[in-house]
Amino acid sequence: MLLSYVDPGLGALLWQTAVAGFVGTLFYLKKTRRWIVGRIRKMFGRGGKPETIATRSAVTPERLAAKFESKSEMR
């Protein structure tokens, strides 16, 4: 008969590891799916480089001028 002590924190650690592994796998699969879909779209010519949030919200002189012009028209 094996008499051993299992710390109560071990159960919490195992749950945390399982949840982190599951969530990490979901993120990995999402990234892999996007990569595959991007390759297929590129192969069939349905899209080039996808527009990212950073490029959409980049501050350029033209956008800045347009923003201030629209605010001055509102007054």
Domain boundary assignment for the chain: 48-75
Q: Which two tokens stand for residue 32?
A: 């892999």
The separation between CA 15 and the C-alpha centre of its own chain, rounded to angstroms, equals 24
Q: Is 9's pLDDT higher than 80?
A: yes
Average pLDDT for 2-27: 87
Q: Which residue has the tokens 């094996």?
A: 2
What pTM does this model have? 0.44
Helical ranges in 45-60 per DSSP H: 53-56
- Per residue in 56-65, pLDDT (tens digit) is 667 777 777 7
Q: Are 50 and 38 in contact (CB under 8 A)?
A: yes
Average pLDDT for 12-24: 93
Please tell me the predicted confidence (pLDDT) of residue 36. Answer: 92
